[in-house]
Structure 1
Amino acid sequence: MKRYVLGISGCSGSGKSEILKKLSDKINSNLVSIISQDNYYKKRDSQLIDLNGFHNFDLPESIDEKKFYDDISKLISGKNIEYFEYNYNNPKLKSNKKEIISNPIIIVEGLFVFHYKKINNLFNSRVFIDAELNLMIKRRLNRDLHERGYDKNDVEYRYKNHVIPAFKKFTKPYKNASNLIINNNKSIELSVTKLSNFLLNDFNKYKRRLS
């Protein structure tokens, strides 16, 4: 069967990854494959450095776009792929090898998936995850401080000087062109339900068009 491809984007801290984790628990694992932009970051020494000496991981150039595109294309063609899990560019953390099975629904998630023209052209539909700025900052702080062990000042600096400018330039312009906008400000479960309902309805319409 020809694959249905859904693109999902939104600012860092909007809740994309958490929503997709819960979605994968809710939907049959033989139906959906999820491929994340996070697993295609270039090595730390290949990242651009700003005027204050901070590596900027929030630019389209920070991602190996060609490898990302090639792997998405393989999944669409029915081939399984292998990749190394993102270790937050932390040399102390081991990067584990993982496999993604090519299922009927391919979900492509990331900050710049709509900005990359070749990748954006692969999508049948697009979903934008949005949230209030203060909430996104709070989520990012919580994640980077407690889950990744980053310094608080570094996290706040990067969000203000890297994340927000990149979001405004490379992600937000595609918001209103999306097929669905989810405001993920309160209930994560409600956001998952909205995404699940849209996905399954759109996928069924896609199958009917193919038949």
Structure 2
Amino acid sequence: MSRPHIIGVAGGSGSGKTYFAKELQKMLGSENCSILYQDNYYIDQSARFDGDGGSVNFDHPQALDFTLLARGLQTLKMGQPLQVPIYDFVTHSRKTETLLENPKKVIIVDGILILHSKEVRAELDEAVFFDTPEDLRFQRRLHRDVHERGRTPEGVKKQFELQVRPMHDEFVEPSKRHAQTIVTDSGDYHAVLSQFTHRLQNTLPVR
């Protein structure tokens, strides 16, 4: 198999980037396309976590091990399988077990800060940034964190105001200058999905 084509998919929390990544994978086929999530690469915070909006800022680049993520992409580029770490958002620690990720023709890297990291950017072939209104991003994050991560609405709001918004303005928003494609439509990604799918199917080729 030829070297994987690596696509970075970035944007603010709740911007629609993960939906896009999953839909693109579905259209290309899971046998051709895999997704690596930034969220798997959080540094163990179990000793410091003191509540939402507390001393641990999950939206700051220092909360993530981008070096490990970049090395993982290099491993996949060499055609070797990768042991992907699993971060537990309930205990705020890294699990002992890992996920086995085999090289695919297309690898999508999904995360709010991946374009801020010079190490990760160096491994990408192209990048997409989802520029989505803040009110919509907050509603999506509220739903996710309450239903999937066991957090309270009050804690999610506090975290958004104290950490998510300022980190977005300082780190995430400026990183869109590194993207070749910027999606500003807050709802309909079908046209962009079709363009990416058609191009990748014809150039890789992916069937």
| 2:198 is equivalent to residue 197 of structure 1 | no
Gaps of 5+ in 2: none
Distance between the aligned counterparts of 2:89 and 2:120, measured in 1?
23
- Secondary structure of the structure 1 residue equivalent to 2:80: coil
- Secondary structure of the structure 2 residue equivalent to 1:86: strand
| Amino acid paired to 1:106 | I
RMSD over aligned CA atoms reads 2.8
Normalising by structure 1, we get a TM-score of: 0.84
Count of residue pairs the alignment pairs up:
203
Paired residue for 1:81?
82
Deviations 1:6-35 (A, max 9, x none): 111100011222222222222222221211
Contact 2:70 2:119 in 1 (8 A): yes
Contact 1:87 1:95 in 2 (8 A): no
| 2:145 is equivalent to residue 144 of structure 1 | yes
CA gap of 1:46–1:202, structure 2 versus 1, over 3 A, is farther
Contact 2:10 2:112 in 1 (8 A): yes
| Amino acid paired to 2:18 | S
| Amino acid paired to 2:193 | L
CA gap of 1:182–1:63, structure 2 versus 1, over 3 A, is same
CA gap of 1:84–1:177, structure 2 versus 1, over 3 A, is closer
| Amino acid paired to 1:198 | F
Deviations 1:159-199 (A, max 9, x none): 11111111111111122442111235224xxx155135225
CA gap of 1:135–1:95, structure 2 versus 1, over 3 A, is farther
- Secondary structure of the structure 1 residue equivalent to 2:88: coil
Distance between the aligned counterparts of 1:136 and 1:126, measured in 2?
20
Distance between the aligned counterparts of 1:97 and 1:148, measured in 2?
19
Distance between the aligned counterparts of 1:114 and 1:201, measured in 2?
22
| Amino acid paired to 1:154 | G
| Amino acid paired to 2:4 | R
| Amino acid paired to 2:163 | H
Give the number of the structure whose residues are more often helix, by fraction: 1
CA gap of 1:144–1:93, structure 2 versus 1, over 3 A, is farther
| 2:159 is equivalent to residue 161 of structure 1 | no
Normalising by structure 2, we get a TM-score of: 0.85
Deviates more, 1:115-124 or 1:173-182: 173-182
- Secondary structure of the structure 2 residue equivalent to 1:85: strand
Distance between the aligned counterparts of 2:13 and 2:118, measured in 1?
20
